[in-house]
Amino acid sequence: MTLLKKLTPILGLLLMAQTALAAPQRYHLQTDLSSVGFETDFGPDKITGTMPIRTADLTLDFAHVAASKVTVTLDAAGSQASFPFAAQAMRGPKVLNTAEFPEISFVSTSVVPQDQGATVAGNITIRGVTQPASFHAEIWRQQGTVAGDLSHLTIRLTGAVLRSQFGAVGWSDMVGDEVRLDILARIERAN
Amino acid sequence: MLRNDATHFGLVSRLIHWAMAALILSLLVLGTQLKTMQPGLANLWLYGLHKSLGLTALVLVAVRLVWHRISPPPAPIGPPRAWENRLAKAVHRLTYALLILIPLAGWAYASATGLDILFANRWVIPPIAPVSEAWENAAHLAHSVLTKILMGVLALHVLGALRRGIEGDGTLDRMIGG
């Protein structure tokens, strides 16, 4: 995050680039440079972990941010947690049931500019159950790019879901219901 | 003397008896604690400890039963048909049954959660039940109910032993000193 803080949040950057990029731009995920962090409560402690991003397709419209679209698929079966039992429990049938539902997907339905970022609302599907969810989005130019170069961007989506809404109720006497997500996707513009 | 004879418990039987007594007491205290404490990273290891001690108790019961085949324990002191001896025999048999069934139910419960069962935080123990919520609930219920019955049976065992100790018939002495 330190690196990101050094970079200029995009919305201002996007506004500057409006004239240069009037048409929606399609971006692909840089898988190796992207990750999803999650966190939930475990008694007085936290369980933290990561989940690989399998795919991400983004269409960013810098002139009309509301027309932007985000689709992200996460590899739930590849998730890791801060201690082995947590990862096993999370992937097991009582929580994510990754044997049957190996992916988590999010498809945006609206993007609303807000402060220095945007609110991305959409539908998230976990364990085959689809529920509305919204994330706060911030976007930056990647390190090493020059002002106005929007070919490589970093997008951060933060938000939370209640796992009980998706039937992921295992160990609810021990582990919190709210799962906080922090998706860091590095993307490059499609040619 | 390691082996039992017609009137005395040998060292092996006594060691197994008192080791199991200590184990069972630890398991009861630990199990009760696990039910009431708020789980966290600092106390997560206690669940593993409970499982390891429970499996150890199961092994010790098996060892004890085998040892009593090899070296039969002495007969109870006093008339065999006296009500105390008949009750003591029933309590012993029920205790053995419970000491086998309770760890098995715990093992099945842990298996049904789908999480690895580690012995001594090192060796993975194979599951004995399918990963299933129905199995998990049933095995947990069995583990809990049978443990409560064991508490009652052990209370009878201890009271009976103390009564014999107070009366000085030698039953308690031969389990302590041989």
Query: Using one digit for the tens of pLDDT, what is the confidence trace for A66-85?
Result: 999 999 999 999 999 998 88
The HSE-up count of residue A179 (CA atoms within 13 Å, CB side) is 26
What confidence score (pLDDT) does residue A1 get?
Answer: 42
- Pairing mode, strands A129-141 and A25-29: unpaired
Whether the CB of A180 is below 8 Å from some CB of chain B: the reply is: no
For residue B128, give how far its alpha carbon lies from the nearest alpha carbon of chain A (Å): 17
Q: Kindly list the distances between the CA atom of residue B33 and the CA atoms of B2, B27, B50, B55, in Å, as whole numbers in the listed order.
A: 36, 10, 10, 18
| Segment B68-113, tens digit of pLDDT | 999 999 998 888 778 888 999 999 999 999 999 999 999 999 999 9
How is domain B11-176 classified at the CATH fold level?
A: Fumarate Reductase Cytochrome B subunit (1.20.950)
What confidence score (pLDDT) does residue A89 get?
Answer: 94
Contact across the interface for B44 and A85, Cβ inside 8 Å: yes
ipTM over 0.85: no
What confidence score (pLDDT) does residue B84 get?
Answer: 85
Higher-confidence residue of A85 and B63: namely B63
Max CA pair span of chain B: 55
Q: How many CB pairs under 8 A join A and B?
A: 36
- Chain B: residue whose CA lies nearest to A42: B40
Whether the CB of A89 is below 8 Å from some CB of chain B: the reply is: yes
Please check the confidence at residue B16 and state whether its pLDDT lies above 50: yes
B153-163: average pLDDT = 94
What confidence score (pLDDT) does residue A22 get?
Answer: 59
Q: Which of A42, A83, A93 sits opposite B114 (nearest CB)?
A: A93
For residue A97, give how far its alpha carbon lies from the nearest alpha carbon of chain B (Å): 11
Q: List strand residue ranges (DSSP E) for B34-93, in order.
A: none
Angle at which helices B45-70 and B11-36 cross, to 10°: 150
What confidence score (pLDDT) does residue A18 get?
Answer: 46
Contact across the interface for B114 and A85, Cβ inside 8 Å: no
Residues of chain A where predicted confidence (pLDDT) is lower than 50:
1-8, 10-20
> What domains can be seen in chain A, in order of their start residue?
2-189 (2.40.128.110)
Angle at which helices B45-70 and B83-112 cross, to 10°: 140
Whether the CB of A84 is below 8 Å from some CB of chain B: the reply is: yes
Residue of B5, B16, B60, B17 whose CA lies nearest to B172? B17
- First and final C-alpha spacing in chain B: 8
Whether the CB of A167 is below 8 Å from some CB of chain B: the reply is: no
Phi first, then psi: give them for residue B62, nearest 5 degrees.
-60, -45
Q: Using a CB cutoff of 8 Å and minimum separation of 24, what contacts does B66-71 make? A: B67/B12, B67/B13, B67/B16, B68/B4, B68/B13, B71/B2, B71/B3, B71/B4, B71/B10, B71/B12, B71/B13
